[in-house]
A = this chain, B = another copy of it.
Amino acid sequence: MISKSSQYAIRAVVYLAAHSSSSRRLNVRQIAAEIDAPEAFTAKLLQLLNKNRIVTSLKGPYGGFFLSDQQLDKSLLEVVEVIDGLDVFYSCGLGLLQCSELNPCPMHHTYKALRTQMLETFQNTSIRLLAGNLHSGAILKAI
């Protein structure tokens, strides 16, 4: 559905939403450990999210990553867009390039319904919302 990279990215931002602030930055080591993702790979993802202003980073001692209040309201769609792009949400279920309303593949209508619901779900789900669903004690580790 979405890539492993996007899953890591979402886990990371949700963890940041729940535990960081502009005055409390978290470093990659801790984030990666808490979401059970490879550290160096998580670093790459966070760098990319930072470049695309989904998270904020600060170098140096006491540096790390955090989410601004605005960034808390970013949608999961924006996160996935940075990592995977939006193709999943817009392209043909059978991999046909010409598929469209006018020239639909045999699965077009049913598949489009799925895609659209997926798109709307990711669009309507903010990082803040997910962090709110993280009931105390819950973890984001794969294990």
Chain B residue with the shortest CB-CB distance to A36: B96
Asked if A121 is an interface residue, CB under 8 A from chain B, the answer is yes
Q: In whole angstroms, how far apart are the Cα atoms of A32 and B118 in the complex?
A: 31
B143 and A95 within 8 A (CB): no
B107 touches A125 (CB 8 A): yes
CB distance from A72 to the nearest CB of B (A): 14
| Copies of this chain per assembly | 2
Q: Residue A40 at the B interface, CB < 8 A?
A: no
- Is there an interface contact between A94 and B125, defined as CB atoms closer than 8 Å? no
Q: A138 — which chain B residues lie within 8 A by C-beta?
A: 103, 105-106
Most buried by B among A7, A94, A113: A94
Would you give the 0/1 interface string for A57-99, flagging 1 where the beta carbon is closer than 8 Å to chain B? 0000000000000000000100000000000100001111110
Q: Is the CB of A130 within 8 A of B114?
A: no
Sample (24) of A-B pairs whose CB atoms are under 8 Å apart = A1-B88, A7-B93, A7-B94, A7-B95, A8-B95, A10-B94, A11-B95, A76-B107, A94-B140, A95-B142, A96-B140, A96-B142, A97-B142, A105-B138, A106-B130, A106-B131, A106-B134, A106-B138, A107-B125, A107-B133, A110-B125, A114-B114, A114-B118, A114-B121
Q: What is the interface of chain A, defined by CB distance below 8 A to chain B?
A: 1-2, 4, 7-8, 10-11, 14, 76, 88, 93-98, 103, 105-107, 110-111, 113-115, 117-118, 121, 125, 130-134, 138, 140-143
